[in-house]
Amino acid sequence: MKLATWNVNSLAVRLPQVLDWLQVNPVDVLALQELKLTNDKFPAAALLEAGYHAQCFGQKTYNGVALLSRTPATEVVRNIPGFDDEMARVISAEVQGVRVVGAYFPNGQAPGTDKFEYKMHWLKGLRDWLRQELTKYPRLVLMGDYNITFDDADVWDPVGLKDSIHCTEEERYQLRALIALGLVDAYRLFEHPAKSYSWWDYREMAFRRNRGLRIDHILVSQALKDKVTDCEIDRAPRKNERPSDHAPVVVELDLT
């Protein structure tokens, strides 16, 4: 089973690239973030034509998440139950016996801002909910745009970006707290080249200079840890003419 996550930064703009990517990478599940469109604008027909069922949780202008899957997803839940949130950031469902959670974590803007406070509050809400979900669904995958780096290995300039957004100790503490629930960073189960990132700024030719961050993650529960056979970041779509600033991350599970 292959699952992937991709922040597409507008599905309306990126749909052709998503369809192209799925043709080359026929994953079982693809979690999308930053749709930037409402449910009525969601291209369900084009995706079904490509062989993918879709569960959408859209919103006007910002945010918006979706789960695409080869087999229909069931038990679909939108956002974090019990956590009051006006933004469409989380969608979860059952696919082929795996509980899949796709999430677009808040950006946080900068430490000390209201948006940073919201990010911390949201992370706490996510963790409290996931603690229960993990007891209910031992086979769980949490993937998406986390907007947090684990450590300096995930940062192109750890000195210059020390304590800046995505790199603060407060955010990293929250990320480790998620891990402490019984989750594992699938990417670090394997050896990868140094300076492997999933996001590069649009400005200053950051991708060409590989000035990036690893902020898109796939975390798997303990029950799935030994079944992970590969996890890769696919930089190819970032080389497209009008790319998303994020690259897809793919995980492979052997559930036989």
Partner DNA sequence: ATGCCTCAGCTCCTGAGA
**Residue 104 catalytic?**
yes
Buried b (16+ CB within 10 A) or exposed e, 2-37: bbbbbbbbebeebbebbeebbeeeebbbbbbbbbbb
Residues 55 and 35 sit within 8 Å (Cβ to Cβ): no
Beta strand 2-7 pairing with 29-33: parallel
Strand order through the sheet with 74-78: 74-78, 90-95, 98-104, 140-145, 216-221, 183-185
User: Out of 52, 104, 146, 187, which one is annotated catalytic?
Assistant: 104
Nearer to DNA, 169 or 204 (CB): 204
Minimum CB separation of residue 8 from DNA in Å reads 9
**Residue 137 catalytic?**
no
Minimum CB separation of residue 69 from DNA in Å reads 23
Nearer to DNA, 2 or 41 (CB): 41
Minimum CB separation of residue 245 from DNA in Å reads 6
Minimum CB separation of residue 132 from DNA in Å reads 26
User: Out of 28, 52, 137, 145, which one is annotated catalytic?
Assistant: 145
* Distance in angstroms (rounded) separating the CA atoms of residues 92 and 67: 8
Can you give the binding site for DNA, defined by CB under 7 A?
7, 9-10, 12-13, 34, 36-37, 60-62, 106-107, 109, 115, 145, 147, 165-166, 199, 201-204, 213, 215, 242, 245-246
Nearer to DNA, 233 or 253 (CB): 233
- Which residues share a beta bridge with 184? 220
Minimum CB separation of residue 74 from DNA in Å reads 29
Write down the residue that tokens 């995505």 correspond to. 166
Pick from 188, 233, 187: nearest CA to 207: 233
What's the sign of the alpha-carbon dihedral 196, 200, 204, 208? positive
Nearer to DNA, 60 or 192 (CB): 60
Q: What one-character DSSP code corresponds to residue 225?
A: H
Nearer to DNA, 65 or 224 (CB): 65
Active site residues: 104, 145
